[in-house]
Structure 1
Amino acid sequence: MSQGITARDRQARFSAYTAFAVQGLCFASLVTQVPRMQEVHHLSDATLSLVLLMVPLVAGVGSVVSGALFQRFGSGVVLRVSQPAVAVTIALIGLTGDLSFWGTTPRPPMIVQNVALYVAVAAFGLFVGAVDASMNAQAVAVERRYGVSLITGFYAVWSVAGILGGLWASLANRIDMPLFACFAIAAAAGIAASLATGHRLYGRGEEGGGPSAEELKAAGRRVPWRPILIVGAAMAVAYLADSAVSNYGAKYLDDELSGADWVAPLGYVAYQVAMVISRAVADLAVRRSGPVRVVRLGGAVGVVGMFGVVAAPNAAFAIAAFAVAGLGLAVIAPVCFSAAGRVDPTGLGVAVARVNIFNYVGFVLGAAIVGAIAPLSADNGLRIAFIIPAALILVVFATARGFDPAPVKGAHPDAPAMERPVA
């Protein structure tokens, strides 16, 4: 650890941890309530898939826009604004299902409530993208100050908060709490934590700056695309499976395995618990056995877990299978970013940024593919749809050798890498 760490750096680190925790809590609180949102708004499976697909598409826009704002305002300011906004939009999504809460009589037509839902979900996606970019920028700034890799710890915090969010959703359903109240309480906790710590994030002058647009353009020509495409393919299928679990796991337990309302969120909880465990030992495993073996093992475990989900005869079996899938899938993304760092001669993170594109590709494809197949069968639509991400994880085996590329001159193979959380 760097000897120049100050109290200011420790404050920024704690604030960044808090940002990851708030994001994990808000995201989990929302995705684990997908079945109830569908019920409240009377959405068909096809319409639901469009609503879920909207989030990653708009999030990509939010990420790009926020990146453009960093040089002017700094990522800390963007995060301080966008994170409370994410929490507010969570509450608004819950409110769209209960517009009578506003005192309107008679109750607004369902089409009005659904339009309000689309607007709220689009706003959620926009601000999620902004938070995604800015909290990663803060984490990387903290790593730069400390001089050691800390990113796994940030994402472990994200996963732990996601577990708490899933458990909260389960409890809320168990006591039959209105959806708006469930979201509003989680949102209030997130807003309070964000406002209490946001002012301690690094400011624009403290983040260490970044390359200019001209520097990035010149650097981009020096980064080879072939190794990026190889690990990017694995990244995409990992996030495709993650998208399927996050968006449709609770619905699968609720609709096709007849799980109670309070049971449905537990699949996501088990998935995240397994991810925390896997990430706790992944770094040591890579050091001992190498990235290729770790990725192959992760892919094998992920395939077993996802096919276990497909074959699950009941909710309990499916929850255990989701945990197995999380145990395997958790290792793929971090090793992807590590491999990217080995082929980047610029030291500017160009390769990491390129690999990062593939997580958005995977998340969009996951929502689109599962959402398109699920309505085709009334009884087993999601079971059939989960076969696609399960089978595509086999791509990891075909690309495994690409996870240990020969480092190019000027690359920093041991430098911290930035990743997006697997939901």
Structure 2
Amino acid sequence: MTNITSTDTHITAGMRRARIALFIVFFAQGLGFGSLFARLPTIKATFEFSDSTLALMTLALPLMAGVATLVTGSIVQRVHSDTLLRWAIVANLTALALIGFADSFALLVPAWIVMGIAFGMVDATMNMKAVSLQQRYKRSIVVGFYAIYSAAGIVASLAAAFTAQAGLPLWVFFGAEFIVLVPLLLWSGRSLVHARVGAAGAAGAAGSAGAAGAAGATGVARSAAGAPARVRVPWLPVLSIGLVLTSAYFIESSASSWGSVYVHDTLAAPESVAALAYGGYSAAMLIGRLSADWLIRAFGAKRVIQVCALIALAGMLAVVFATAPWMALVGFALAGGGLCVIAPLAFAAAGTIDDTGVAVARANTFTYVGFLLGAALIGPIADLSSMRIAYMISVALAVVILFLARGLASRIEGAEQSPQTA
């Protein structure tokens, strides 16, 4: 296969602005979510939650987000995805700020609900637009957005640690994010029109930045006036992609929720060492995502995703059969580096099923299924047997990813080789 490079298509100024706007959205989404979870101990202390109550609250967020992202597939057939994304990300950050200001459970719950719903809508629409823009670029760019998301999570953890150490109240921390990010998102949000789902041909055919803007506007008008009220998208191809996403996010959730517990309890590592489990996982994932788009352009999606799936499997095997803490830490890092491309390329594959974004939204729902299962199943299974046996589930799911990876890449590369329609 001949890899598609940037010379195969004209990259307009509008497309570049859309890419920057999406970088900002992915960063804001990662920062908001990471900030909330990093300050959960403060929320627990403020409202005097029990462990069970806090667990229910944290599980409620992905549940609401999963339902919202599924519904988003229907909403974007009636409301343009860029409009929905702009309002949902503002609602998300507004809810985060309100959580910081809440001084009673009655105020916390509505803000919590709004954040869960808005987060799911942002998650679905930003993935739609990332995939749509990649199709316009005709080369791999989608993993770079996930690199920004990963980096935002690290920034959120560091900022949370600093504000907690300084004794700053939640409303200062969350409010500062709102004040900085919302104006930036509103300012850059207009550029998202150049990544409009289903309008790739209109703006992509223009020969200059000005022509691109005019063509994009024309494409939007035609889409608004002529698009059917509802588009039927088959579920069957989405299910295979969803299985990959469920598997990947189960492994990630098992690493984030239980990794440090495994290294501490099973391998007798001190807490200072055990805490590095998810840190190594996240750092390796970020490093992998920073270079993944280049590797995909150089070697092809099929080769990269298969190698990464093998690395993830090797990492989880190292975790399960570790006899010393350092072996498990290396295993978690390998798993993070291997999984770095799985979710972005799974969404890219979903984007080939239809040009409305519905398939991407449906696929996104499976990320929450994996996240919830990973957090919920590892502990009880470990209680019934051992943590090593519980982590065998992650090994099995890494095998599933390896088995299905080739099909994902074939779908992406097949779409790249197909003639582009105007």
TM-score, L = length of structure 2: 0.73
SS in 1 for 2:139: coil
User: Could you tell me whether the CA contact under 8 Å between 1:49 and 1:368 is conserved in 2?
Assistant: no
Distance apart, 1:81 and its partner CA: 1.1
**1:110 counterpart residue number:** none
2:110 to 93, 109, 119: 119
Would you say 1:236 and 2:242 are equivalent positions? Answer: no
The residue type paired with residue 397 of structure 2 is: V
**1:393 counterpart residue number:** 395
Give runs of aligned pairs for residues 63-102 of structure 1, distance below 5 A.
63-96=69-102, 99=103
Change (3 A) 1:81 1:411: same
User: Could you tell me whether the CA contact under 8 Å between 1:245 and 1:268 is conserved in 2?
Assistant: yes
Q: How far apart in 2 are the matches of 1:45 and 1:386?
A: 24
**1:150 counterpart residue number:** 141
**2:165 counterpart residue number:** 174
User: Could you tell me whether the CA contact under 8 Å between 1:295 and 1:400 is conserved in 2?
Assistant: yes
Q: How far apart in 2 are the matches of 1:247 and 1:333?
A: 19
| Larger mean Cα displacement after TM superposition, 247-256 or 81-90 | 247-256
SS in 1 for 2:33: helix
Change (3 A) 1:373 1:189: farther
Distance apart, 1:135 and its partner CA: 1.5
User: Could you tell me whether the CA contact under 8 Å between 1:53 and 1:368 is conserved in 2?
Assistant: no
**2:200 counterpart residue number:** none
Distance apart, 1:3 and its partner CA: 4.5
Q: How far apart in 2 are the matches of 1:124 and 1:254?
A: 33
Distance apart, 1:45 and its partner CA: 2.1
Q: How far apart in 1 are the matches of 2:228 and 2:368?
A: 22
User: Could you tell me whether the CA contact under 8 Å between 1:20 and 1:135 is conserved in 2?
Assistant: yes
**2:125 counterpart residue number:** 134
User: Could you tell me whether the CA contact under 8 Å between 2:74 and 2:230 is conserved in 1?
Assistant: no
Distance apart, 1:201 and its partner CA: 1.9
Change (3 A) 1:94 1:349: closer
SS in 2 for 1:404: helix
Change (3 A) 1:371 1:54: farther
**1:296 counterpart residue number:** 310
Change (3 A) 1:143 1:292: closer
2:32 to 5, 10, 26: 26
Q: How far apart in 2 are the matches of 1:94 and 1:270?
A: 29
Q: How far apart in 2 are the matches of 1:123 and 1:264?
A: 34
Distance apart, 1:51 and its partner CA: 0.7
**1:195 counterpart residue number:** 186
User: Could you tell me whether the CA contact under 8 Å between 2:25 and 2:126 is conserved in 1?
Assistant: yes
Q: How far apart in 2 are the matches of 1:197 and 1:40?
A: 35
5+ residue gaps, structure 2, are 1-5, 197-215
Q: 1:376-411 CA deviation, whole Å, 9 max, x = no partner?
A: 89xxxxx97796356333222255233223958x95
Q: How far apart in 1 are the matches of 2:65 and 2:310?
A: 30
Would you say 1:358 and 2:366 are equivalent positions? Answer: yes
User: Could you tell me whether the CA contact under 8 Å between 1:232 and 1:358 is conserved in 2?
Assistant: yes
The residue type paired with residue 25 of structure 1 is: L
The residue type paired with residue 315 of structure 2 is: V
**1:274 counterpart residue number:** 284
The residue type paired with residue 405 of structure 2 is: F
SS in 1 for 2:193: coil
User: Hey, which of these two has a bigger chunk of helix by percent?
Assistant: 2
The residue type paired with residue 278 of structure 1 is: G
Would you say 1:5 and 2:15 are equivalent positions? Answer: no
Distance apart, 1:4 and its partner CA: 3.7
Q: 1:122-159 CA deviation, whole Å, 9 max, x = no partner?
A: 11111101111222232233223322221111111111
**1:164 counterpart residue number:** 155
The residue type paired with residue 309 of structure 2 is: V
1:38 to 41, 44, 48: 44
| Larger mean Cα displacement after TM superposition, 393-402 or 73-82 | 393-402
| Larger mean Cα displacement after TM superposition, 320-329 or 184-193 | 320-329
Q: 1:96-120 CA deviation, whole Å, 9 max, x = no partner?
A: 3xx2xxxxxxxxxxxxx23433322
Q: How far apart in 2 are the matches of 1:386 and 1:156?
A: 30
Q: How far apart in 1 are the matches of 2:274 and 2:101?
A: 21
**2:211 counterpart residue number:** none
Aligned length: 380
TM-score, L = length of structure 1: 0.72
The residue type paired with residue 412 of structure 1 is: A
Q: How far apart in 2 are the matches of 1:47 and 1:386?
A: 28
Change (3 A) 1:411 1:350: farther
Distance apart, 1:366 and its partner CA: 2.9
5+ residue gaps, structure 1, are 100-112, 378-382, 416-423
Distance apart, 1:67 and its partner CA: 3.5
